[in-house]
Amino acid sequence: MVLGERLGDKSDSRFCGVETEFQEDMPQLLSFNLSSSAAFDFVVAPVMDPTYRPSLMVNDRNRSGVLPVAGSDLVLSPAQWSSHVVGKLSSWIDLDSEDKILRLDSEITLKQEIAWASHLSLQACLLPTPRGASCANYARCVNQILQGLNNMQLWLRIPLEKTDDDAMDGTHDDLNGGQTDSWELWNSFRLLCEHHSQLFIALDVLSSLPSANSLGRWFGEPVRAAIIHTNSFLTNARGHPCLSKRHQKLLTAFFNHSIQMVLSGKPVHSLPKGSLELGSNDADGIQRHPLRSYLDYVGYLYQRMDPLPEQERFELGYRDFLQSPLQPLMDNLEAQTYETFEKDTMKYIQYQRAVCKALLDRVPDEKASIVTTVLMVVGAGRGPLVRASLQAAEETGRKLKVYAVEKNPNAVVTLHSLVKLEGWENIVTIVSCDMRQWDAPEKADILVSELLGSFGDNELSPECLDGAQRFLKQDGISIPSSYTSFIQPVTTSKLYNDVKLHKDLVHFETAYVVKLHNVARLAPCKPVFTFTHPNYSTEKSNQRYKKLQFETLSDTGSAMVHGFAGYFDATLYKDVHLGIEPSTATPNMFSWFAIFFPLRTPVCIQPGSTLEVHFWRCCGATKVWYEWCVTSPTPSPIHNSNGRSYWVGL
């Protein structure tokens, strides 16, 4: 039974598992934990008897050499093994032990257990937590296995703990003497395994939690499961298990990031009189699962979440999916692309507001009936800005003459049909031409364009509008009037591994458009490049350079920077804004996702340290490109030197 139904959510976070002890009778184990009275979706179960030691087998000549596994592969169907069982490796395994025999036993057993789990076609195996700060041999053995692993995931068990002054919920569950940030443990292991894409995390959620900033790091890491221990639960007024407000908030965030829940431990709550006792039989005589009340509470937390908004449901398929940015000058957009952008109602509402304000400023009420404002839509596409401008004229009672300038001959066909359909022949003049080459018959009062990209200037709005500025009156208005790009450092293991899969330099030096989801934003955004229109500066160059410094909060702990998320904010006219920078983003707008600048080698930043970043916007005769690098805490190569991998064609 899934935790519940939530409109639009089809992610794995709907499912909840239970951690079990070793049992030879696997059908019975599944029947007890997955029955209607228990209602778990899967078990995290040992695949081999935990008393087994290879060294004992060698010394015992009476042994047959058959591994003491939890039932043969025939006791369950392949579909049951694959869908309902996550293999749990023996917890005694210690590959970095000083004891040579234990170390060798651990290495043999690790490989045997994963080989058996792979034979069963399990989707995942839970690896035991590394013991101590040094885990080099453990990571070496796991990395060897990962090189030959097919589709199975390995989940490394990591306690969710950062044991310093930031813990706020009571006593610590100590890890390694109470001094280790468990993220450091994970980071060390993951680096030794070269960020392998099949290595994931199962977080042990304990009774105490680190600070919100420390927790935030994990949402950019490859967390597949959260193991909730029964001793983390409190007791509510009715005697039932519940969680603290901070734990509730954390679980809700896990649900939103497609992280599955696993309940673990023995029941620690005695239900009040009148309630069905834990482990007792219900009205039908079926034994009630000892952890059912805990599962019911987790299901309650899931079901009380708000349904996904329509925009989020629309964007589900784009989450953490890398797309190459548009090349609007080099390429002609297709009808489907135009249609997607035209559905963004909020964008055109903002443009209409901006044109309304510009018309009111341009033409006083007493001249509204006699003055005709010349408005040029440069890059008219299939006409949504033409429509918004004419609606603004109708709303303000101003007279308008519109030139719709568009270089795409296919879109021009649609424009002619639109003008004829709407009866705009006497108002709208269609110009099939590149705005930079058009010789306008008159000058414009207002210049309107939607040439903005996810990074503001990355679709060459500055170059296009500079070229079109010659037919704007000296006191004319440009909509937009200015725009600024922003960046922030992010942890995004998923995107980093997706880029790494290409195994080349080019993809690490390319900027991608992406709907960021499984990401940790490590510091607030900072502005990068600003462009203003019309631009009457004597310095006409659109080249830019910016050095930026980011500081993480000291209670965050160490974190991994996989790259930079980029956004923009535009002033259309006066107080009418449009943008995707998170702190000021225009609500309910989906025309732009963020842009992502990857780093070839991720950079680890320490608590309270400064991350120094450099960004360049470079201009050549036929292309514009970005270069970027990190100089502190450790220097990176300069990415995309001379636009060798990624550029925007003029």
Answer whether 44's CB lies under 8 Å from 260's CB. no
Q: State phi, psi for 146 to the nearest 5 degrees.
A: -60, -35
Q: How far is CA 64 from the centre of its chain?
A: 50
User: 122: buried, middle or exposed (CB in 10 Å: 19+, 13-18, 0-12)?
Assistant: buried
348 is in an annotated binding site: yes
Answer whether 407's CB lies under 8 Å from 460's CB. no
Distance CA(386)–CA(419), nearest Å, equals: 10
H helices of 205-304, in order, are: 212-216, 245-256, 292-303
Nearest to 219 by CA among 263, 257, 185: 257
Residue listed under structure tokens 């960004």 = 615
330 is in an annotated binding site: no
Distance CA(189)–CA(180), nearest Å, equals: 14
Alpha-carbon torsion angle 335, 336, 340, 343, nearest 10: 60
Catalytic (active site) residue 422:
no
331 is in an annotated binding site: no
347 is in an annotated binding site: yes
Distance CA(446)–CA(95), nearest Å, equals: 71
Nearest to 484 by CA among 542, 536, 526, 540: 526
Answer whether 47's CB lies under 8 Å from 116's CB. yes
Answer whether 33's CB lies under 8 Å from 26's CB. no
User: 414: buried, middle or exposed (CB in 10 Å: 19+, 13-18, 0-12)?
Assistant: middle
The SS3 of residue 263 is strand
Catalytic (active site) residue 463:
no
Structure tokens at 140: 């070496």
Nearest to 208 by CA among 251, 254, 162, 242: 162
Q: State phi, psi for 531 to the nearest 5 degrees.
A: -125, 140
Summarize the chain as % helix, strand, coil (round to 5).
30, 25, 40
Nearest to 138 by CA among 85, 198, 185, 86: 185
Radius of gyration of the chain (CA): 30
**Among 107, 221, 459, 627, the one annotated catalytic:** 459
Element (H, E) at 610: strand 610-619
Answer whether 568's CB lies under 8 Å from 592's CB. yes
**Among 107, 113, 161, 450, the one annotated catalytic:** 450
Nearest to 227 by CA among 126, 93, 80: 126
Answer whether 195's CB lies under 8 Å from 137's CB. no
- Enter the DSSP assignment of 99: -
Q: Count H helices, E strands: the chain?
A: 17, 26
435 is in an annotated binding site: yes
Answer whether 325's CB lies under 8 Å from 458's CB. yes
Annotated binding site: 338, 347-348, 406, 434-435
Residues noted as catalytic: 450, 459
Annotated binding site for S-adenosyl-L-methionine: 338, 347-348, 406, 434-435
